[in-house]
């Protein structure tokens, strides 16, 4: 048997071997992967970004009492464990966080900030500069940010917090056109290098987004990707049209985003089981009628069953993991909050992509964060809830937690 055949067989085994080994904190990983704790008790963590192999940055979520979140700078020792942490940059939100050309970009509901560094200093040299100002700061505060490396900065913005429909008050009749599509519910494009830009000066790049925090650029096929959270409680609002199983089939949607992409909210939703986009009930849909062909985008991958809440997305460009992972995407799923028996999420899954950007089937990667049983997959019972994911310069994968403030490093040894 040739070396090439052996290599292909080993790559295939990564996905066909169902064995998962238990690691620290009950996390289960494919054989050969290992999890170690980088830091703990850092607060309600969100996204994570690396400036180099030794310095990483984590955003924290604002509290229910209104206290602002901030950014935590973390220095790693030779064992990849935090030996120094320092807080800076108080802001509401704790959402998008990206290192671009040596500077740290952090999003709050109303602004995107840029922090500059001097050499290998852990914390910024001064107060941040404002890159974008004047974004609508109420109701939905999640802001994903991404750079294409060609001079463009993309910012995602959802409709309103928890919005399932676009209606007046308690009405069950959808507004058309939906006014939220004018100033929200989309991805905007700005200059990546210009400071003090106003939101009104940005270009609306895509539309029809209910809620989105996971946004990134894939260097594999040079494309923008984002994951939209599908609507909730459709069976509650329209019990004569949508039953519980139908509701569970409504997908969180991962899209390849180009200019003009329409994700379909609020007029449609995507059934991840039947693989069909349907007209929403408040616009006359009967859970059978397909949306107009060619008007809305088709997702490259879907996640369903009681909203698994994908909150971060990282394409793997390193060489430390087996070749089968290269060019694919790791998706961190925070998990559905409600106590339902079929809750999904509380994990990290992997979607393989080929060089043309075609997605393969979803694969388990890191599970067990909530606990050893299905009953622990609720916000009230889960031991850990993974949120942010980023690839380190050495090719390992880091994952943040929103319950105890932990950060794990996932590495591959093959042992």
**Main-chain dihedrals φ then ψ at residue 348, nearest 5 degrees:** -120, 125
CA atoms of 18 and 90, how far apart (whole Å): 44
Is the Cβ–Cβ distance between 79 and 147 less than 8 Å?
no
Task: Give the DSSP H/E element, type plus range, for residue 7.
Answer: helix 3-16
Sign (positive or negative) of CA dihedral 333, 255, 207, 107: positive
CA atoms of 216 and 214, how far apart (whole Å): 7
pLDDT tens-digit series, residues 275-333: 999 999 999 999 999 999 999 999 999 997 667 899 999 999 999 999 999 999 999 99
Q: What is the DSSP string of 160-192?
A: STT-----STT--S--SS-THHHHSSEEEEEES
Q: Which are the contacts of 168, defined by CB distance < 8 A and separation ≥ 6?
A: 175
Determine whether 197 is exposed, middle or buried from the number of CB atoms within 10 Å of its CB (0-12, 13-18, 19+). middle
Q: Which are the contacts of 110, defined by CB distance < 8 A and separation ≥ 6?
A: 92, 133, 134, 135, 136, 137
Look at strands 145-147 and 152-157 and give their pairing. Answer: antiparallel
Is the Cβ–Cβ distance between 228 and 214 less than 8 Å?
no
Mean pLDDT of the chain: 90
Tell me the two tokens of residue 33: 């992967």
- Can you give the pTM of this predicted structure? 0.93
Say how many CA atoms lie within 13 Å of 37 toward its Cβ. Answer: 13
CA atoms of 275 and 299, how far apart (whole Å): 9
In angstroms, what is the C-alpha Rg of the chain?
A: 21
Is the Cβ–Cβ distance between 181 and 242 less than 8 Å?
no
CA atoms of 366 and 385, how far apart (whole Å): 12
pLDDT tens-digit series, residues 206-249: 999 999 999 999 998 899 999 999 998 999 999 999 999 999 99
pLDDT tens-digit series, residues 362-372: 999 999 999 99
Neighbours of 246 (CB within 10 A): 17
Q: What is the pLDDT of residue 93?
A: 62
Q: What separation in angstroms does the CA of 135 have from each of 50, 94, 107?
A: 26, 15, 10
CATH T-level fold of 37-412: Neuraminidase (2.120.10)
Tell me the three state secondary structure of residue 30.
strand
Q: Where are the domains of the chain?
A: 37-412
Q: What separation in angstroms does the CA of 415 have from each of 13, 30, 36?
A: 14, 11, 15
Q: Give strand pairing partners of 187.
A: 156, 206
Residues of the chain where predicted confidence (pLDDT) is lower than 70: 1-18, 62-68, 91-94, 161-162, 305-306
Look at strands 197-198 and 129-133 and give their pairing. Answer: parallel
Is the Cβ–Cβ distance between 409 and 396 less than 8 Å?
yes
CA atoms of 274 and 297, how far apart (whole Å): 16
Q: What is the pLDDT of residue 63?
A: 52
Q: Which are the contacts of 98, defined by CB distance < 8 A and separation ≥ 6?
A: 49, 104, 105, 145, 146, 147
Q: What is the pLDDT of residue 20?
A: 87
């Amino acid at each position: 048997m040739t070396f090439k055949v052996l290599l292909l067989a080993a790559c295939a085994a990564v996905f066909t071997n169902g064995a998962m080994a238990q690691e620290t904190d009950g996390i289960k990983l494919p054989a050969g992967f290992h999890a170690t704790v980088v830091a703990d008790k850092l607060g309600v963590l969100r996204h994570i970004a690396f400036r180099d192999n030794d310095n990483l940055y984590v955003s924290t979520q604002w509290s229910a009492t209104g206290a602002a979140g901030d950014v935590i700078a973390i220095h790693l020792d030779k064992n990849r464990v935090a030996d120094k942490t320092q807080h800076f940059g108080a802001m509401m939100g704790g959402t998008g966080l990206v290192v671009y050309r040596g500077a740290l970009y952090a999003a709050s509901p109303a602004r995107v900030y840029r922090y500059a560094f001097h050499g290998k200093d852990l914390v910024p040299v001064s107060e941040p500069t404002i890159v974008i100002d004047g974004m609508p700061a109420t109701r939905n505060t999640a802001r994903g940010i991404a750079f294409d490396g060609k001079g463009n900065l993309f910012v995602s913005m959802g409709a309103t917090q928890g919005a399932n429909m676009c209606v007046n008050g308690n009405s069950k009749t959808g507004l058309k056109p939906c006014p939220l599509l004018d100033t929200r519910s989309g991805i905007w494009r700005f200059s990546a290098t210009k400071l003090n830009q106003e939101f009104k000066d940005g270009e609306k790049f895509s539309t029809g987004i209910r809620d989105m925090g996971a946004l990134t650029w894939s260097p594999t096929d040079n494309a923008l990707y984002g994951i939209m959270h599908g609507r909730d409680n459709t069976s509650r609002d329209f019990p004569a049209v949508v039953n519980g199983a139908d509701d569970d089939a409504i997908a969180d949607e991962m899209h390849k985003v180009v200019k003009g992409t329409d994700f379909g909210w609020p007029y449609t939703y995507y059934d991840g089981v039947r693989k069909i986009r349907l007209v929403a009930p408040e616009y006359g849909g009967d859970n059978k009628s397909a949306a107009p062909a060619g008007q809305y985008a088709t997702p490259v991958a879907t996640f369903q069953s009681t909203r698994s809440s994908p909150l971060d997305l990282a394409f793997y460009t390193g060489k430390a993991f087996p070749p089968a992972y290269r060019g694919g995407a790791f998706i961190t799923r925070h998990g559905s909050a409600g106590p339902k028996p079929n809750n999904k999420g509380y994990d990290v899954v992997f979607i393989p992509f080929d060089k043309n950007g075609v997605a393969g089937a979803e694969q388990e990667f890191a599970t067990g964060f909530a606990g050893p049983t299905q009953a622990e997959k609720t916000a009230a019972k889960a031991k850990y809830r993974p949120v942010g994911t980023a690839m380190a310069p050495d090719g390992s994968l880091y994952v943040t937690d929103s319950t105890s403030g932990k950060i794990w490093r996932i590495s591959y040894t093959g042992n």
